[in-house]
């Protein structure tokens, strides 16, 4: 055989091996992608099927595509499935929008981060100072103002809709009478009040409502069609109902502090927003977005810092920029890894935590929450537990039974089902309360006390009835 023919065959073999290797590589990548998709679907099904949520919608974005994973219903007992266009309350994720408005106004030369907030508030409002230093817009956006998490005059008439009656007058009254107990800018302390005050201040500067500022400056620019506070009749149909355990709860209404948590949105809109944050979607807001992603202050936890609105986590050789949210019947998470061009949003219409799902999708070194599983016990033993157990005067836990179900009710709150980890130890269904209850028998076998187990420690309650 001629040498030229041998060389041609050798080249052909090499090419074929290269093609085969490439095909195997592509198939391997497809298998990995399929495996990840199956894992995400399994995660959200497990949460919903085990009562941790009524529904979960997950959106995943990379530089090439976006994908949605949906499971569950609009409400308990509903037949309507959720999808990427289902509307959820996103709670404190609103703070990211508020800080983006701030950054955009700075980019446009309308204001400065160092502007003191009393520059924009009515003259009669006395904003607290300390050691001659004033609270600035930047302090509010980075939770370093020295203002508390919640104002001392926050006293809702209806705790199921707590922000509905907190007015501008309440806000000004608190500011005018509050004394700062730490230096301004000295320390991070997460403040719903501060973020709400920032939204209110920016709305005053703009001469329109906070909602109108969000729509005009962000939603219209990015094409976010279902990111809003007030819903149209068409949007009401898309709204997932919030739940606390199995109980449907009221949506939250807002007045003065809307900038802290009033927005509602969809997974589709949130991925569009995150695409712009990563620079994958061209927008005139990008320079302002970059400004919000810069580290401004440490949080006090190793590897955790704060930007303008965003929290920045440096862990497992990645930098994740993220925020979570919560209202009375909803949980939310959004985050992205800019270097690896990956973003995630997770929305739920229940109180069971879902942020671990978001972190895990972004980096699988993060641990997933271990779901508690109920064991089978004879319901007749519940009769031994029925009664009232006192922690302190006027603070008790009432245990009751309805058929084969056991319930616990803290004084002044609703009752919720608790499930057995063993014959004597129980947890809240869906973990709506991150606590467990152990019933203690005396030497005669009678239950005379219980122990409330929480991360902060254990607390014993004596049976009084």
> Among 29-33, 286-290, 393-397, 431-435, which is the least confidently predicted range?
29-33
In a domain, 69, yes or no: yes
Which among 379, 312, 11 is positioned nearest to 143, based on CA atoms?
Answer: 312
Position 431 scores a pLDDT of 76
How much of the chain exceeds pLDDT 70, in percent? Answer: 92
Distance of alpha carbon 29 from alpha carbon 37, whole angstroms = 12
3 state SS of 349: coil
- 429 and 283 in a single domain? The answer is no
pLDDT digits (tens, 9 = 90+) for 419-435: 999 999 999 887 778 89
pLDDT band at 32 (very low <50, low <70, confident <90, very high): very low
* C-alpha count within 13 angstroms, C-beta hemisphere, residue 167: 5
- 293 and 401 in a single domain? The answer is no
Domain boundary among 302, 331, 362: 362
3 state SS of 428: strand
Residues 6+ apart with CB under 8 A from 73: 54, 55, 79, 80, 81, 82
- 96 and 235 in a single domain? The answer is yes
pLDDT digits (tens, 9 = 90+) for 234-247: 999 999 999 988 88
Please check the confidence at residue 18 and state whether its pLDDT lies above 70: no
In a domain, 402, yes or no: yes
pLDDT mean over 131-156:
96
Domain boundary among 332, 362, 392: 362
- 459 and 324 in a single domain? The answer is no
Q: Which two tokens stand for residue 58?
A: 């997950």
pLDDT mean over 136-142:
98
Q: In what order do the strands lie in the sheet with 342-348?
A: 66-72, 55-62, 342-348, 330-337, 318-327, 311-315, 304-306, 297-298
Which among 434, 431, 455, 452 is positioned nearest to 373, based on CA atoms?
Answer: 431
Domain boundary among 362, 392, 420: 362
- 344 and 197 in a single domain? The answer is yes
CA torsion through residues 292, 295, 296, 302, sign: positive
Look at the chain and count its residues.
465
Distance of alpha carbon 118 from alpha carbon 137, whole angstroms = 10
How much of the chain exceeds pLDDT 90, in percent? Answer: 82
Greater pLDDT, 51 or 269: 269
CA dihedral 353, 356, 358, 360 (to 10 degrees): -160
* C-alpha count within 13 angstroms, C-beta hemisphere, residue 200: 24
Give the residue numbers spanning the domain of 255. Answer: 55-362
> Among 1-10, 143-152, 171-180, 288-297, which is the least confidently predicted range?
1-10
CATH of the domain at 387: 2.40.128.50
Distance of alpha carbon 260 from alpha carbon 274, whole angstroms = 19
- 277 and 351 in a single domain? The answer is yes
In a domain, 13, yes or no: no
C-beta neighbour count of 295 within 10 angstroms: 13
In a domain, 302, yes or no: yes
Position 373 scores a pLDDT of 87
Position 25 scores a pLDDT of 46
- 412 and 340 in a single domain? The answer is no
Q: Which two tokens stand for residue 227?
A: 């990111």
- 358 and 438 in a single domain? The answer is no
Residues 6+ apart with CB under 8 A from 336: 61, 274, 277, 278, 320, 321, 322, 342, 343, 344, 362
Task: Spell out the alpha helix ranges (H) of 293-372.
Answer: 355-362
pLDDT band at 20 (very low <50, low <70, confident <90, very high): very low
- 349 and 396 in a single domain? The answer is no
Please check the confidence at residue 219 and state whether its pLDDT lies above 80: yes
pLDDT band at 298 (very low <50, low <70, confident <90, very high): very high
pLDDT mean over 313-332:
96
Distance of alpha carbon 195 from alpha carbon 279, whole angstroms = 25
Using an 8 Å Cβ cutoff, are 354 and 331 in contact?
A: yes
Please check the confidence at residue 26 and state whether its pLDDT lies above 90: no
What's the predicted TM-score (pTM) here?
Answer: 0.86
- 116 and 60 in a single domain? The answer is yes
Using an 8 Å Cβ cutoff, are 108 and 115 in contact?
A: no
Position 5 scores a pLDDT of 52
Distance of alpha carbon 263 from alpha carbon 269, whole angstroms = 12
In a domain, 31, yes or no: no
CATH of the domain at 73: 3.40.710.10
Using the CB atoms, write b or e for 201-220: b if 16+ within 10 Å: bbbebbeeebbebbbebbbe
* C-alpha count within 13 angstroms, C-beta hemisphere, residue 177: 9
Q: Which two tokens stand for residue 54?
A: 């009524």
Position 4 scores a pLDDT of 53
**∠ at Cα 113 (108, 115), nearest 5°?**
105
Number of domains in the chain: 2
3 state SS of 103: helix
- 147 and 236 in a single domain? The answer is yes
In a domain, 150, yes or no: yes
pLDDT mean over 194-210:
98
Residue 300 — left, alpha, or beta (φ > 0 → left; ψ -120 to 50 → alpha)?
Answer: left
Position 266 scores a pLDDT of 98
In a domain, 45, yes or no: no
Backbone angles phi, psi at 59, to 5 degrees: -120, 130
3 state SS of 438: strand
pLDDT digits (tens, 9 = 90+) for 60-107: 999 888 999 999 999 999 999 999 999 999 999 999 999 999 999 999
In a domain, 89, yes or no: yes
pLDDT mean over 331-354:
95
Position 245 scores a pLDDT of 84
* C-alpha count within 13 angstroms, C-beta hemisphere, residue 122: 9
- 386 and 277 in a single domain? The answer is no
Please check the confidence at residue 116 and state whether its pLDDT lies above 80: yes
Residues 6+ apart with CB under 8 A from 253: 161, 163, 164
């Amino acid at each position: 055989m001629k040498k030229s023919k041998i060389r041609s065959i050798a080249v052909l073999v090499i090419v074929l091996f290269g093609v085969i290797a490439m095909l195997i590589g592509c198939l391997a990548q497809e298998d990995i992608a399929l495996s990840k998709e199956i894992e995400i679907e399994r995660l959200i099904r497990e949460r919903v099927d085990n009562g941790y949520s009524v529904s979960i919608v997950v959106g995943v974005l990379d530089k090439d595509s976006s994908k949605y994973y949906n499971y569950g219903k609009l409400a308990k007992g509903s037949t309507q499935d959720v999808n990427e266009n289902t509307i959820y309350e996103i709670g404190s994720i609103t703070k990211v929008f508020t800080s983006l408005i701030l950054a955009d106004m700075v980019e446009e030369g309308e204001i400065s981060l160092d502007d003191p907030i009393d520059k924009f508030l009515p003259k009669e409002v006395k904003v607290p100072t300390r050691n001659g230093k004033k609270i600035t817009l930047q302090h509010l956006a980075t939770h370093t103002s020295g203002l508390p998490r919640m104002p001392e005059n926050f006293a809702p008439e209806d705790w199921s809709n707590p922000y509905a009656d907190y007015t501008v007058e309440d806000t000004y009254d608190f500011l005018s009478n509050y004394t700062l107990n730490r230096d301004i800018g000295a320390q991070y302390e997460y403040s719903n009040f501060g973020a709400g005050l920032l939204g209110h201040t920016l709305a005053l500067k703009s001469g329109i409502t906070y909602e109108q500022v969000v729509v005009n400056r962000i939603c219209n620019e990015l094409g976010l069609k279902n990111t809003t506070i007030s819903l149209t009749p068409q949007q009401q149909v898309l709204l997932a109902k919030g739940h606390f355990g199995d109980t449907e709860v009221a949506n939250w209404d807002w007045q003065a502090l809307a900038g802290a948590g009033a927005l509602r949105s969809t997974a589709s809109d949130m991925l569009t927003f995150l695409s712009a944050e990563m620079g994958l979607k061209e927008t005139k807001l990008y320079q302002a977005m970059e400004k919000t992603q810069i580290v401004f202050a440490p949080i006090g936890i190793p590897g955790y810092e704060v930007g303008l609105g965003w929290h920045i986590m440096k862990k497992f050789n990645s930098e994740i920029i993220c925020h979570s949210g919560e209202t009375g019947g909803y949980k939310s998470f959004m985050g992205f890894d800019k270097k690896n061009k990956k973003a995630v949003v997770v929305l739920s219409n229940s109180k069971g935590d879902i942020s671990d799902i978001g972190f895990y999708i972004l980096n699988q070194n993060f641990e997933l929450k271990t779901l508690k599983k109920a064991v089978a016990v004879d319901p007749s033993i519940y009769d031994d537990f029925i009664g009232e157990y006192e922690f302190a005067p006027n603070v008790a836990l009432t245990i009751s039974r309805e058929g084969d179900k056991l319930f616990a009710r803290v004084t002044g709150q609703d009752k919720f089902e608790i499930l057995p980890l063993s014959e004597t130890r129980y947890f809240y269904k869906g973990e709506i309360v991150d606590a467990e209850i152990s019933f203690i028998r005396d030497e005669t076998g009678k239950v005379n006390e219980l122990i409330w187990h929480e991360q902060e420690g254990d607390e014993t309650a004596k049976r009084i009835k």
